[in-house]
Amino acid sequence: MTTTADPTGLTGGVRARGLVRTYGTRRALSGIDLDLGPGVTGLLGRNGAGKTTLLRCLATDLEATLGELSVLGLDPERSGERTAIRRRLGYLPQNPSFYPHFTAFGLLDYMAVLKERGGRRERHEEVRRALRGVDLYDRRHTRIRRLSGGMRQRLGLAAALLGDPRLLLLDEPTIGLDPEQRIRFRDLVSELAVHSTVLLSTHQIEDVAALCRRVLVLDQGRMIFDGAPAELVARARGRVWEQGARPPAGVTSWRLADGRYRVLGPAESDVPDAVDRVPVEPSLEDAYLLLTGSVPR
């Protein structure tokens, strides 16, 4: 149980024990144990690993089949507490589909009303602030159907950031953002994470590397790693090389800009010898690929 102090009286963070979610006979989550507190936590995993299901459970959009879950110190299975969680929650779902006839301002105003953000003037001020935060203020009167994919993603982010959320759940938030916007996004999330809990599900490993003090890796509904990014990188040390010759089939590798190959292997002895092979410092991405079994073990 997390115990972060919160001026609203709610307790911050997330606590899950033995969380299971099934779809028919398929287990999307298999006994997840999790404690989350303030700061940004990255959630990595291949497609279908269970990341979105976990986020939806934490966002109270989906009920867990088994297990215990406490979000901001409240039980999401109880209707009244679920509503209280949702008021203090910022949630950006994967591929959010917004009502296309809303203007950017209209959507955020609607969300702010539902999050009970004070009177009209105060609410509108907050909506304007959120729009400025994602650089959409100039497009506030544009209907959503006329916004580009990246703008919609930023709008979704602004909606999630409304109301100073105690828990921010972001599912693939940087898809479609240009580098400048991604940096802006990182800045926003870092600032918020000083006093809020942020869980960031992404395939953009550089975002995790830049933002997260902690990384969770899911694979087939199970948590296979929970630790600092540096710890994950450390595990990959000695298993990443660069070489001139093309590695044999079955070895994960890719051609670099200078024509050499970057090779990931389970152990040095398992990779066929190459004359110009040079061990290199693994990146977080290398470490993640090695962990999730994208290379032969």
Residue 109 engages other proteins in binding (rule: CB under 8 A): yes
Residue from 20, 30, 37, 110 in contact with other proteins (CB under 8 A): 110
Which pair of tokens denotes residue 150? 């990246």
**Given 54, 59, 72, 208, the residue binding other proteins (CB under 8 A):** 59
Burial state string for 227-238 with b = 16 or more CB within 10 A and e = fewer than 16: eebeebbeebee
Q: Which of 89, 104, 217, 236 binds other proteins (CB under 8 A)?
A: 89
Distance CA 80, CA 199 (A): 24
61 binds other proteins (CB under 8 A): yes
- CB of 95 vs other proteins, minimal distance in Å: 9
153: three-class secondary structure by DSSP: helix
Q: Interface residues for other proteins in 147-186 (CB under 8 A)?
A: 159
Q: Does 102 engage in binding with other proteins (CB under 8 A)?
A: yes
**Residue 146 interacting with other proteins (CB under 8 A):** no
What is the distance of C-alpha 86 from the center of its chain? Answer: 18
Could you tell me which of 197, 208, 142 has the C-alpha nearest to residue 16?
197
| Nearest distance, CB of residue 42 and other proteins, angstroms | 21
Q: Which H or E run includes 132? A: helix 120-133
Contacts of other proteins in 111-140 (CB under 8 A): 111, 113-116
**Per CB under 8 A, 86 contacts other proteins:** yes
Q: How far is the CB of 241 from other proteins (least distance, A)?
A: 44
Does residue 39 belong to the site contacting other proteins (CB under 8 A)? no
Burial class (CB in 10 A: 0-12, 13-18, 19+), 210: middle
Shortest gap between Cβ of 240 and other proteins (angstroms)? 39
What CA–CA distances, in Å, run from 57 to 10, 16, 81, 83, 185? 19, 10, 14, 14, 24
Query: Which residues contact other proteins by CB under 8 A?
Result: 59-61, 78-81, 83-84, 86-87, 89, 91, 93, 96-102, 106, 109-111, 113-116, 159
